[in-house]
């Protein structure tokens, strides 16, 4: 079992029968949950789980957007671990999961999460001006494949179709907003879903992270 241990990074330890429904440890090992653990040190300094206590777990119920968002968080973070800074990944997961738990729109949260994940992967786009010429005005498109925001002339030159002003605003917000601001602004669902699909295609093409959870998001 591998766990993120807050700012200290992550660790792994042995758990016997963890996924049996009647296992006493099962409630504390639910993905994206918060728990306390008591570990024993065995031969070769290997750690094993002795006692556990669940503190908080996500409640999915019958909410498809919520389920899709949690699947996205779980799959992408697991596949990206090792390719990104684990401490920064913990901070991102902690903030996004906490905001969803507190009632923040899961589609909005997923949009911000993907933007931050792309940045952690070292693929952050240019969002303070045109990616080609640095022009600040006449921004008409956003394309991760082409480096970020594009002005009218460069969008035409690159063959990139213009986006709505709302979509460009969402892209800027998702990449620029500090984690402390997550949960304050609820995004327009149509533009947010367009942004999410854009990010998922880019992540798959540029980093090799093929996310099966994208199929569930496609139904929303």
Average pLDDT of span 58-79: 77
Cα–Cα distance measured from residue 130 to residue 206, given in angstroms and rounded to the nearest whole number: 21
For position 151, what pLDDT does the model report?
97
Phi and psi for 71 in degrees, rounded to 5? -60, -40
pLDDT category at 145 given cuts 50, 70, 90 is very high
DSSP 8-state secondary structure symbol assigned to residue 22: T
How, if at all, do strands 10-12 and 148-151 pair? unpaired
Average pLDDT of span 58-63: 66
Cα–Cα distance measured from residue 15 to residue 37, given in angstroms and rounded to the nearest whole number: 11
Long-range contact list for 145-149, CB < 8 A, 24+ apart?
Answer: 145/202, 145/205, 149/125
Residue with tokens 């854009």: 198
Arithmetic mean of pLDDT over the chain? 82
Residue with tokens 């779980």: 74
pLDDT at 127 over 60: yes
The model's pTM is 0.78
């Amino acid at each position: 079992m591998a766990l993120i241990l807050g700012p200290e990074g992550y660790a792994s330890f042995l758990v016997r029968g963890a996924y049996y429904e009647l296992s006493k440890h099962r409630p504390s090992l639910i993905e994206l949950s918060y728990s306390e653990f008591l570990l024993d040190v065995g031969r070769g300094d290997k750690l094993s789980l002795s006692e556990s206590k669940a503190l908080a777990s996500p409640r999915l119920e019958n909410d498809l957007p919520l389920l899709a968002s949690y699947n996205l968080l779980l799959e992408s973070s697991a596949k990206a671990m090792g390719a990104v800074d684990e401490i920064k990944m913990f901070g991102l997961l902690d903030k996004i999961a906490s905001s969803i738990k507190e009632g923040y729109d899961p589609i909005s949260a997923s949009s911000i999460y993907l933007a931050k994940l792309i940045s952690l992967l070292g693929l952050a786009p240019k969002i303070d001006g045109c990616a080609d010429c640095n022009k600040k005005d006449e921004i008409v498109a956003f394309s991760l494949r082409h480096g970020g925001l594009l002005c009218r002339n460069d969008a035409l030159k690159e063959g990139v179709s213009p986006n709505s002003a709302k979509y460009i605003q969402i892209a800027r917000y998702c990449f620029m907003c500090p984690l402390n601001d997550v949960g304050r602004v609820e995004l327009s669902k149509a533009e947010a879903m367009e942004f999410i699909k854009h990010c998922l295609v880019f992540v798959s093409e540029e980093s090799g992270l093929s996310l099966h959870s994208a199929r569930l998001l496609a139904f929303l």
